């Protein structure tokens, strides 16, 4: 009977250790994903700032002036 309880406790202990290892791995993966998310959010912020700069009123006006010929050149 004592051997049965020893084996049962061994399985419980191994199950607990396995659960802790899995939980720790999930936490490490979550930390890595959070760092990646932060990096991607920063990159998105930079890209949105570049887009705002490129689509700003002044930039678009400058581009339209470069593409349309001057009235003096048409004559």
Kindly tell me if the per-residue pLDDT of 73 is higher than 80. Answer: no
Looking at per-residue confidence, does 73 or 30 come out higher?
A: 30
54 belongs to a structural domain: yes
The C-alpha atoms of residue 34 and residue 53 are separated, in whole angstroms, by 29
Does the residue 12 lie in any domain? no
pTM, 2 dp: 0.60
Number of domains composing the chain: 1
Give 6's Cβ-side CA count (13 Å radius). 3
Q: Residues with Cβ < 8 Å from 59, sequence gap 6 or more?
A: 53
Task: Note the pLDDT tens digit of each residue in 35-50.
Answer: 999 999 999 999 999 9
Whole domain around residue 57: which residue ranges? 22-61
Percent of the chain with pLDDT over 70: 91
φ/ψ of 30, rounded to 5, equals -65, -45
Please give the Cα distance from 10 to 4 (Å, whole number).
Answer: 10
């Amino acid at each position: 009977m004592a051997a049965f309880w020893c084996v049962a406790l061994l399985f419980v202990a191994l199950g607990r250790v396995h659960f802790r290892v899995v939980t720790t791995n999930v936490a490490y993966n979550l930390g890595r994903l959070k760092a990646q998310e932060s990096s991607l959010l920063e990159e998105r912020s930079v890209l949105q700032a570049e887009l705002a700069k490129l689509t700003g009123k002044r930039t678009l006006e400058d581009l339209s002036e470069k593409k349309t010929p001057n009235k003096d050149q048409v004559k």
